[in-house]
């Protein structure tokens, strides 16, 4: 009992010596053990406000387009047999995420994204790896000039997101836990996605609504509660918008 | 395919107008909903002169069951006799921001002031940071109608150096000239062998008795229990919101205590 013993000796001295509670009726202290101090960050809610502005969204898309330009310079066959390069912002995959994808026939795609979340948004710098599957039942190719593009008015998808941090658990728990199944894995999260894709300047732009799987479960159990407390039939409470660009080779 | 492109643009517009929030990671820590002690203590101060007894609603272990939480909140609001509410932790399963947002949003529907202890589930992932941003410090003490209420963090697996016994000792101490009726300590994890070792249990029991804590209140176990340790201190565990329960603790100015477990109606479980 190392913690208890160490504290015990300190506390024993304080049994009688502890100062009496005087002054204001309220005393509060934060026991911040286990939490590194947070560094400079945006004011609370600033990220959400930023995201809610259409002009900011446009800026993010332009920024994403700039990021994708080097990918368009790749050989036509792509590396590792890839069919396109992709960048995305939001939708739980990162402030910005970039990667490559494969077309599996006319209606199916998979892609993988490496995402970055700066500490100005979450309080911690975090890298994430995402695998996405998309089903495009209405996809048509060959639109626009200057590149192979795709139009897909409505598609469905699924993402598996891995967060890389010592604070997130994958595999065995730390030894202080009584059994390895004390908690489920915390390093993986999944989302269910619905989106639309359209040609834009020789590339394919897409917008998605991505719902966290735990949110889908909670919504399924209590749809009325979500509808009463959040916008968009309650879907605001369980998911996020996402915007991205794909450059097909 | 102009019609397809028009449909796409329409869907983008609809998405943007209907659900304008973007989230960049499942592990974000910056909450939209907050319910910190300052506002609740100010609200509680306004109730100070409203009576002599103290009636506290206890909620614990809702674990994302927002419908059950909503039901319990509506029962508590319908009573109209609760002075304040203590939420004993495990409002989430994975300590994720979205889970916290649901609980915070639901709990802010309560008419009475609210105070929070962090649960072990709330502290995993980046939940420690979310809790602090949303609800404030892990340890909190306040006085109301001549009784002292101490909320402390006892999640030994997720934090090092807890409980903060120096904090508890200072918070429990009676000032010169102070009239004190009850001193009650609240944490999510009870002092039982599991999270605690037997030696830690023995120490905490002795510590609480030595510092004048009348009894302690906890969640974590989901079902009701009340035990009295060798020093005479009672340790109350209240049933979970997940099982559609809340509990009511009534402290009288005459030093009596009553415990009820409630759904739409209440059952008296203990009094002393």
Please, which pLDDT band fits residue B234 given cuts at 50, 70 and 90? very high
Contact assessment for residue A157 and residue B138, using Cβ atoms and an 8 Å cutoff:
no
More confident residue, B113 or A77: B113
Per DSSP, the residues of A130-194 read EEEEEE-TT-EE--SSSSB-EEEEEEEEEEEEEEE-TTS--SSPPTTSSSTTSS--SSEEEEEEE
Nearest Cα to B57, choosing from B270, B272, B263?
A: B263
A175 touches chain B (CB under 8 A): no
Write the DSSP symbol of residue B138: S
Per DSSP, which regions of B167-272 are E strands? 183-186, 215-218, 225-228, 234-237, 246-251, 257-262, 266-271
Alpha helix (H) residue ranges in chain B:
2-18, 37-45, 66-79, 97-107, 127-135, 165-172, 198-210
* B150 backbone φψ class: left, alpha, beta (φ>0; ψ -120 to 50): beta
Model confidence pLDDT, tens digit, residues B42-78: 999 999 998 999 999 999 999 999 999 999 999 999 9
Judge: A21–B141 Cβ closer than 8 Å, yes or no.
yes
Query: What pLDDT does A72 receive?
Result: 54
Q: What is the CA radius of gyration of chain B?
A: 21
Nearest Cα to B19, choosing from A43, A88, A59, A242?
A: A242
* Spatial distance between the Cα atoms of B85 and B60, rounded to a whole number of angstroms: 11
B140 touches chain A (CB under 8 A): yes
More confident residue, A15 or B89: B89
Please, which pLDDT band fits residue A10 given cuts at 50, 70 and 90? very low
User: How many A×B Cβ pairs under 8 Å?
Assistant: 298
For Cα atoms B153, B155, B160, give the angle at the middle one, nearest 5 degrees.
90
What DSSP element (H or E) covers B240?
none
The β-bridge relationship of strands A239-248 and B114-116 is unpaired
Write the DSSP symbol of residue B95: -
Average pLDDT rounded to a whole number, residues B127-132: 96
How far A82 CA sits from the closest chain B CA (Å)? 25
Contacts of B161 in chain A (CB under 8 A): 3, 7, 31, 33
Query: What pLDDT does A77 receive?
Result: 58
Model confidence pLDDT, tens digit, residues A30-66: 443 333 334 334 444 444 444 443 444 455 556 555 5
Alpha helix (H) residue ranges in chain A:
2-17, 46-52, 54-72, 119-122, 213-221, 223-229
Which of A51, A212, A235 faces B98 most closely, judged by CB atoms?
A: A212
Judge: A45–B26 Cβ closer than 8 Å, yes or no.
no
Q: pTM (2 decimals)?
A: 0.85
Mutate to test the interface with A, among B24, B39, B93 (most CBs of A within 10 A): B24
Q: What are phi and psi of B102, to 5 degrees?
A: -60, -45
User: Which ipTM value was assigned to this complex?
Assistant: 0.90
Highest mean pLDDT: which of A19-23, A57-61, A187-191?
A: A187-191
A37 touches chain B (CB under 8 A): no
């Amino acid at each position: 009992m190392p913690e208890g013993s160490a504290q015990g000796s300190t506390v024993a001295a304080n049994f009688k010596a502890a100062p009496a509670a005087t002054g204001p009726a309220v005393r509060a202290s934060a026991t911040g053990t286990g939490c590194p101090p947070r560094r400079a960050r945006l004011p609370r809610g600033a990220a959400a406000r930023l995201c809610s502005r259409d002009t900011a969204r446009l800026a993010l898309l332009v920024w994403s387009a700039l990021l994708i330009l080097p990918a368009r310079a790749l050989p036509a066959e792509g590396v590792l047999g890839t069919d396109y390069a992709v960048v995305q912002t939001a939708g739980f995959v990162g402030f910005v995420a970039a990667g490559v994808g494969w077309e599996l026939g006319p209606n199916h795609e998979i892609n993988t994204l490496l995402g970055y979340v700066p500490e100005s948004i979450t309080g911690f710098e975090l890298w994430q790896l995402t695998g996405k599957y998309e089903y495009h039942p209405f996809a048509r190719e060959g639109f626009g000039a200057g590149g192979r593009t795709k139009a897909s008015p409505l598609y469905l998808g699924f993402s598996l997101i891995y967060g890389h941090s010592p604070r997130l658990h994958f595999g065995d728990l730390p030894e202080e836990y009584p059994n390895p199944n004390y908690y489920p894995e915390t390093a993986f999260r999944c989302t269910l996605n619905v989106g639309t894709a359209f040609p834009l300047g020789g590339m394919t732009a897409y917008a998605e609504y991505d719902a966290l799987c735990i949110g889908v479960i909670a919504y399924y159990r209590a749809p009325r509660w979500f509808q009463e407390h959040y916008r968009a039939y309650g879907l605001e409470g369980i998911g996020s918008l996402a915007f991205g660009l794909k450059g097909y080779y | 395919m102009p019609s397809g492109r028009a449909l796409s643009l329409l869907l983008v517009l609809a998405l943007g107008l209907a659900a304008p929030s973007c989230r960049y990671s499942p592990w974000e820590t910056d909450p939209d909903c907050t319910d910190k002690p300052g506002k609740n203590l100010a609200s509680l101060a306004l109730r100070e002169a409203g009576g002599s007894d103290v009636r506290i609603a206890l909620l614990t272990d809702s674990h994302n069951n927002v419908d059950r939480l909503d039901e319990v909140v509506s029962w508590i609001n319908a009573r109209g006799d609760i002075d304040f509410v203590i939420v004993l932790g495990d409002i989430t399963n994975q300590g994720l921001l979205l889970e916290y947002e649901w609980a915070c949003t639901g709990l802010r529907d309560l008419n009475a002031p609210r105070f929070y202890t962090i649960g072990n589930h709330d502290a995993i992932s980046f939940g420690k940071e979310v809790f602090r941003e949303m609800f404030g410090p892990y340890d909190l003490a306040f006085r109301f109608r001549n009784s002292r209420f101490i909320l402390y963090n006892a999640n030994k697996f997720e934090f090092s150096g807890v409980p903060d016994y120096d904090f508890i000792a200072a918070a429990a101490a009676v000032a010169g000239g102070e009239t004190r009726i009850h001193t009650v300590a609240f944490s999510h994890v009870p002092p039982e062998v599991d999270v605690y070792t037997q030696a830690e249990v023995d120490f905490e029991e002795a510590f609480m008795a030595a510092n004048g804590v009348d009894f302690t209140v906890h969640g974590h176990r989901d079902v009701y229990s009340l035990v009295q340790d060798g020093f005479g201190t009672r340790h109350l565990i209240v049933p979970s919101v997940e099982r559609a329960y809340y509990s009511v603790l009534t402290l009288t100015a005459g030093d009596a205590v009553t415990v009820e477990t409630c759904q739409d109606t209440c059952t008296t479980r203990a009094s002393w």
